Copies of this chain bind each other. A is one copy, B any other.
Amino acid sequence: MRDINELQVIIQKAVEKIQFPAHPSKLYEPIAYILDMGGKRMRPALLLMACDLFDGDIEKAIPPALAIEVFHNFTLMHDDIMDNAPLRRGRATVHERWNSNTAILSGDVMLIEGYKLIMQVEDHLLRTILNIFNDTAVGVCEGQQLDMEFEDRADVSIPEYIEMIRLKTAVVLGGALKIGALVGGADMRDADLLLEFGENLGLAFQLQDDILDVYGDPKKFGKQVGGDILSNKKTYLLIKALELTEGAAKDDLNNWLSAAKFDSANKVAAVTEIYNTVDVRHHAESAMQFYAEKAFAALDSLGIAKDKKDYLRNFADSLMVREN
């Protein structure tokens, strides 16, 4: 098995080699710009890993892996417009550096370029893999729609939240793994198990992110602690806290949510204190554990050698214990 870091390097080099037309430059430059922002290339690397797991030819997995990465960056380009985000990884977002129209149209072309890349799989896999890619793409759009709708809703339930993060972030991991497995020669049963592994691991990751936003060590986490609290983001923790608090504590929480003016440190401290009183961290960690175990159960059922399962399990574990 190749190391994930090695796979990330392979993807990074392949991303740098993607050629887009020179004209119209305003259409294609933003694509190179956003792809150049970097990132961990985790989704395409996982696709390569899934291929490698079945002793497949990594070279054949590179175009679909790039398709996943280009698709992912298309969603970032359009999401940044919708979220009105000025920065991504410390650099101006495309709609800020150019304008919204450019970000819309360059994003549209990126989605088409994603299809051109995914189509480079062999004929016998073409229809199957395109169907997975379509399902993944539709899922991400549905997830983004739900995420936007949740901003204006006070009554989002935990199952609704789980479904939203499944669509918005987990299906791409699942889809990438399934596509990689098929390119690597896996049968449909194993490919579906890897999809299940990926989706559940994706859910566990997102729940971990929700927890780390509040309880993470800022040095290790790399983001501002409490960012979700300050933006009233409907995370697992907030939704669970709204569900569990009663009386004065619930009023208190709602007051912080509706407060127009506040001291940031005070708000983070006060909301965290409310979270602590109803022990939302424990609930979130249980949920995270639940999805991690579902992921590992799918992994156990795979028809591959034990040392490969152990490798995948250790890799997933290494992602899950960044903090706690």
Which residues of chain B are within 8 angstroms of A126 by Cβ–Cβ distance?
126-127
Question: Do A108 and B111 touch (CB < 8 A)?
Answer: yes
A82 within 8 A of B: yes
Let me know if A112 and B127 touch, CB within 8 A: no
Per DSSP, chain A at the interface is: helix
A68 to chain B, nearest CB (A): 14
Q: Is the CB of A142 within 8 A of B24?
A: yes
Interface size band for A:
35 or more
Most buried by B among A21, A116, A141: A141
**Which chain A residues in 6-29 approach chain B with CB under 8 Å?**
21, 23-24, 26-27
Q: Which A residues between 260 and 284 are near B, CB-CB below 8 angstroms? A: none
Docked Cα-Cα span, A218 to B305, in Å, equals 75
B141 touches A27 (CB 8 A): yes
A301 at the binding interface (Cβ < 8 Å) = no
What is the distance, in angstroms, from A127's C-beta to the closest C-beta of chain B? 6
Q: Give the docked Cα–Cα distance between A105 and B149 (Å).
A: 13
A111-122 interface mask toward B, CB cutoff 8 Å, 1 = contact, 0 = none?
A: 111011001000
Q: List 11 contacting pairs A-B, 8 Å CB cutoff, sorted by A.
A: A24-B146, A27-B145, A78-B105, A82-B101, A82-B104, A109-B138, A112-B137, A112-B138, A112-B141, A115-B115, A126-B127
A309 to B80, CA, bound (A): 51
Is the pair A82, B105 in contact by a Cβ cutoff of 8 Å? yes
Asked if A208 CB lies within 8 Å of chain B CBs, one says no
| A34 close to chain B: CB less than 8 A | no
Instruction: Please state if B104 and A142 are interface contacts (CB–CB under 8 Å).
Output: no
**Residue A144 interfacial (CB < 8 Å):** yes
Q: Which residues of B contact A109 (CB under 8 A)?
A: 138, 141-142
- Given A112-B137, A134-B112, A134-B116, A105-B24 contact (CB < 8 Å): no
When chains A and B are docked, how far (Å) is the Cα of A144 from the Cα of B106?
11
Question: In the bound complex, how far is the Cα of B146 from the Cα of A24, in angstroms?
Answer: 7
Nearest CB of chain B from residue A234's CB, rounded to whole Å: 15
